[in-house]
A and B are shown apart, each in its own frame.
Chain A
Amino acid sequence: MSPSPALRISRVSKHFETGKGRVTAVDDVSLDIMQGEFISIIGPSGCGKSTLMNMVGGLLTEYDGDILLDGKKVSGCQPEIGMVFQEESTFPWRTALENVAFPLEAAGLTRDKRIARARDLLDLVGLSGFENHYPAELSGGMRQRIAIARTLAFEPRILLMDEPFAALDEQTRLLLGDKVVQIQNKLRQTTLLITHNISEAVQLSDRVLIMTFRPGRIKRVIEIDLPRPRSSEMMGSEAFGRYVAEIWQDLREEASKGLHDAEAAARQG
């Protein structure tokens, strides 16, 4: 682990102007992510975690504070930061292999090279044998693995995942979590995961950040000191349960604030 962080988020805030006035989505968030570290950000809906992700990914460019990648300010989208989205994002007109090769094609790699690389990555996410299948012929979990492989294809310094498994059923989600752990063991990919699933965060992360409900601040950072390699099997262990309970303690308060807020808005509405 290098002493200087791979990604430094320094005193970042983001305000939106709405009809009802200024809304602070993200308030003074600072975070250092070290090389090879896996960090989860967890928080209730509306805590600004997706806003934070869009700022790091360069989709949102106007904010206060600094986001530095290897000491250089992030301005706009760049291939060094790879994003995996919650929504379906595989291209239906491309086969699994062609989907994974997409960023390599954009980067101008020769056909042979990108096919070889895409094959390796499909293998990594456990989809070898499905190279020539179209997304419509695959399950949601498989499609999301294609999206992950596609993002890993251009070897980003940072992998940003915005609730990548939120649209999947619980069992698929657990198995995909195991898959991510395996990939993590192989690549030591520096990763920032946005999630609202507590056990997913505990299972995958080195550190879990709990965010407050609006305005989004970092409420607490919890180091997950569980032995690696991990898998979904350890979810029954006592240590795992303690982490989950600890996070829920903190999160519960924030989530109920969010719920209360939403109900109040609906009543006015």
Chain B
Amino acid sequence: MVAVGQVKSGLRARTRFSRVTIYRIVALVVIIALWEGAGASGLFFRGVIPSSVFVTAALLRLLGDPVFWGHFGVTLFEIVTGFAIGSALGMLGGLGIGMNRYAGQVFEPVAEYLASTPKVVFLPILLILFGIGVGSKISLGAISCFFPLALSIAAAVRNINPMYLRVGQSLNLTLTQRVKMIYLPALTPAIATGLRLGFGIATVGCLMSEIKLSNKGLGHAAMQAYGRFDIPTMLALLIVIFATAALGNSLIGRLIRLPGPTNRRVTHVPR
């Protein structure tokens, strides 16, 4: 732990690192140290916890391997397509359930039951319907992210300040105008959160079905590595999956500009 202390004080000396950054680096170092310690301790079967050096080597080898990039492309395509379909339908469904009282009464209980069902139970049906290829993965990803998105947006629609809707009503706005000028901007924070959540869940759906039954994709490659007991490669693949999910999540967060003065300081000067 001497090394950690040195890193910590060394970084603190340079003020351009914020406190949070320092803690993050410290946490990472601690985790890697624990990992190495557990691997070297002899408490586990040899090779189950490979040294991070081997994992890094496997990762570098993968990044230079065109076969890996093929798997990566397939998985990325599945996640993005499944997410796009599921979130588009989820948003429409959420708006519909939230805006129309009868639609809400009819569909919401059903949607809530389905939302708490693990979507992987649909996999056999999807395999029959769409085959062992990307179709079954995309559809499971789409189904996975549809429900949480639809339900969270429906709840957000009902939480819109009724005054906004009354202003729209008093101006006699059309349905399209109300959706475009009131509902969507009022829902932007909920949509942003829903999309980030949905992206993660779509990723889980795609990878779960890849791991279960597939012939392409990162999940498939990870299972192959597992079959060969090539744990460093398997872990490297998991790191790639993790990094992809994290990147996608932060990308969505950045792409959606939250309305209003969220990032502004109050600067009003009375005149």
Interface residues of chain A, those whose CB is within 8 Å of chain B, are 57-59, 76-79, 81-83, 85, 87-89, 91-94, 102-103, 105-106, 129-130, 133-134, 136-138, 150, 154
Check if B18 is an interface residue, CB within 8 A of chain A. no
Contact mask B30-71 → A, CB, 8 Å, 1/0?
Answer: 000000000000000000000000000000000000000000
Q: Is there an interface contact between A136 and B260, defined as CB atoms closer than 8 Å?
A: yes
The verdict on A59 contacting B170 (CB below 8 Å), with A134-B260, A134-B261, A137-B261 known, is yes
The verdict on A77 contacting B170 (CB below 8 Å), with A106-B177, A129-B271, A130-B268 known, is yes
How far is A82 from B167 in the complex, measured between Cα atoms in Å?
A: 10
Q: Which of B161, B163, B170, B172 has the most CB of A within 10 A?
A: B170
Contact among B161, B177, B181, B264 with A137 in the assembled complex (CB-CB below 8 Å): B264
The chain A residue sitting closest to B165, CB to CB, is A89
The chain A residue sitting closest to B167, CB to CB, is A89
Q: Which residues does chain A contribute within 8 Å of B259, judged by CB atoms?
A: 92-94
Q: Which residues does chain B contribute within 8 Å of A129, judged by CB atoms?
A: 271
The verdict on A89 contacting B261 (CB below 8 Å), with A59-B169, A79-B172, A138-B268 known, is no
Q: Which residues does chain A contribute within 8 Å of B181, judged by CB atoms?
A: 102, 105-106
Q: Shortest 5 CB-CB distances between A and B: which pairs?
A: A93-B259, A134-B261, A89-B163, A93-B185, A83-B170
How far is A88 from B45 in the complex, measured between Cα atoms in Å?
A: 65
Give me 10 other A-B pairs in contact (C-beta within 8 A), A92-B260, A134-B260 excluded: A77-B172, A79-B172, A88-B163, A91-B182, A91-B186, A93-B186, A93-B260, A102-B181, A130-B268, A137-B268
How many residues on the B side are at the interface (Cβ–Cβ under 8 A)? Answer: 24
Instruction: Sample 6 A-B pairs with CB under 8 A, ordered by A number.
Output: A83-B170, A88-B161, A91-B186, A93-B185, A94-B185, A137-B268
Q: Is there an interface contact between A85 and B166, defined as CB atoms closer than 8 Å?
A: yes
How far is A258 from B170 in the complex, measured between Cα atoms in Å?
A: 30
Q: Is there an interface contact between B261 and A136, defined as CB atoms closer than 8 Å?
A: yes
Q: Is there an interface contact between A82 and B260, defined as CB atoms closer than 8 Å?
A: no
How far is A87 from B169 in the complex, measured between Cα atoms in Å?
A: 15
A79 → chain B closest CB, angstroms: 6
Q: Which residues does chain A contribute within 8 Å of B271, judged by CB atoms?
A: 129
The verdict on A76 contacting B185 (CB below 8 Å), with A87-B163, A136-B260, A137-B261 known, is no
Q: Which residues does chain A contribute within 8 Å of B166, judged by CB atoms?
A: 59, 83, 85, 89
B31 → chain A closest CB, angstroms: 40
Q: Could you tell me which residues of chain B, from 107 to 130, have a CB within 8 Å of some CB in chain A?
A: none
Q: Is there an interface contact between A93 and B171, defined as CB atoms closer than 8 Å?
A: no
